[in-house]
């Protein structure tokens, strides 16, 4: 009977199920500006016993875990500060707050707004941030890396990738025929005759332009038909060249007689 009473709580826990520990929450959403650095010597220089999380001034600061506020006030270097004591034995400290809205002894839930981001105390750099430090409460030097308790940050949204343009379908011209794009098909130049060596009667651009007989060529002035006839007409006062007689042709021994009647 005594043994059964000892096993009864265990059976009840297995039947009901043990509640898992609550997850941690980022106090603000932003990049880690300075990571956790802690060496073997707690008094050595260059150590950083927490992380700096960047966020714009005025951003609400949330409680990283549920617990009781053990300190709410101002410290010389950290500025406005809040410390929360969790049920599992951690001391969670937030430094460099612009404002805070809780007091010592207040119970807070995970994710409750405690204050806002602001430049208080001795900060480094020009970007506003909040400092988060987590320590095992029973150990004065028991600082742990907050990134080992916080969930992985959500990835930043990526810009949509533009879709590839849809190609236009090529019409089927049948076997043995090729599709020619209108932009790639040359057109004959006005005033040029088709070249025999050019496909589809397209004129060669390196040949001289072909001008039909009687048409005006490049740079040639047009002469009216009436003007041409006027130039060819001889008036009555125009002297006529005398014809050469047969006697003179016969008397000239070097002349060639082309007259068939001689």
Instruction: Write down the pLDDT at residue 213.
Output: 60
Sequence-separated (6 or more) residues with CB below 8 Å from residue 53: 26, 27, 28, 30, 31, 32, 33, 129, 130, 131, 132
Q: What is the mean pLDDT of the chain?
A: 73
What's the predicted TM-score (pTM) here? 0.53
Query: What pLDDT digit, counting tens, does each position of 12-37 carry?
Result: 444 433 333 457 999 999 999 999 99
% of the chain at pLDDT higher than 70 = 52
Residue with more model confidence, 25 or 191: 25
Instruction: Write down the pLDDT at residue 124.
Output: 86
Q: Is the pLDDT of residue 226 over 90?
A: no
How far is CA 220 from each of CA 189, 205, 231, rounded to the nearest angstrom? 19, 21, 18
By CB atoms closer than 10 A (0-12, 13-18, 19+), residue 91 is buried
* DSSP line for the chain: -HHHHHHHHHHHHHHH-PPPPPPP--SS-S-EEE--B--S-TTSTT-BSSEEEE--TT-EEE-SS-EEEEEEEEETTTEEEEEEE-TTSEEEEEEEEEEE---TT-EE-TT-EEEEE---SS--SSS-EEEEEEEETT-TT-EE-GGGTSPPPPPPPPPPPPPPPPPPPPP---TT-----TTTS--PPTT-PPPTTSGGGPPPTTSPPP--TTS--TTPPP--HHHHHHHH---TTSPPPPPPPHHHHHH-TTS----TT-
The region of weakest confidence among 97-106, 111-120, 159-168, 189-198 is 189-198
pLDDT band at 98 (very low <50, low <70, confident <90, very high): very high
Is there a contact between 113 and 101 (Cβ–Cβ < 8 Å)? Answer: yes
Is there a contact between 55 and 128 (Cβ–Cβ < 8 Å)? Answer: yes
Sequence-separated (6 or more) residues with CB below 8 Å from residue 98: 57, 58, 80, 115, 116, 117, 118, 119, 120
Q: Is the pLDDT of residue 70 over 50?
A: yes
CATH assignment of 32-148, among 1.10.10.10, 2.40.50.140, 2.70.70.10, 3.40.50.300: 2.70.70.10
The region of weakest confidence among 84-88, 142-146, 164-168 is 164-168
Instruction: Write down the pLDDT at residue 176.
Output: 60
Instruction: Write down the pLDDT at residue 229.
Output: 58
Instruction: Write down the pLDDT at residue 181.
Output: 55
What does the domain layout of the chain look like in residue ranges? 32-148
% of the chain at pLDDT higher than 90 = 41
């Amino acid at each position: 009977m005594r043994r059964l009473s000892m096993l009864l709580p265990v059976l009840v826990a297995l039947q009901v199920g043990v509640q898992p520990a609550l997850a941690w929450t980022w106090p603000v959403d932003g990049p880690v500006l300075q990571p956790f650095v802690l060496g073997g010597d707690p008094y050595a220089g260059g150590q950083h016993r927490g992380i700096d999380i960047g966020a714009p001034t005025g951003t609400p600061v949330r409680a990283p875990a549920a617990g009781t506020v053990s300190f709410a006030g101002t410290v010389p270097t950290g500025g406005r500060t809040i410390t929360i004591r969790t049920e599992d034995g951690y001391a969670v400290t937030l430094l460099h707050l612009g404002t805070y809205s809780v007091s010592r002894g207040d119970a807070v839930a995970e994710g409750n707004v405690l204050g806002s981001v602001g430049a208080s105390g001795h900060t480094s750099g020009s970007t506003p941030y909040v400092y988060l430090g987590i320590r095992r409460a029973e150990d004065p030097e028991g600082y742990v890396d907050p990134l080992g308790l916080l969930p992985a940050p959500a990835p930043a949204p990526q810009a949509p990738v533009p879709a590839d343009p849809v190609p236009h379908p090529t019409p089927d011209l049948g076997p043995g025929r090729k599709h020619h794009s209108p932009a790639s098909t040359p057109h004959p130049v006005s005033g040029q005759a088709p070249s025999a060596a050019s496909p589809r009667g397209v004129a060669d651009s390196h040949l001289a332009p072909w001008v039909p007989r009687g048409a005006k060529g490049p740079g040639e002035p047009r002469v009216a038909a009436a003007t041409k006839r006027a130039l060819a007409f001889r008036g009555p006062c125009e002297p006529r060249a005398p014809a050469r007689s047969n006697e003179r042709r016969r008397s000239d021994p070097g002349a060639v007689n082309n007259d068939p009647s001689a």
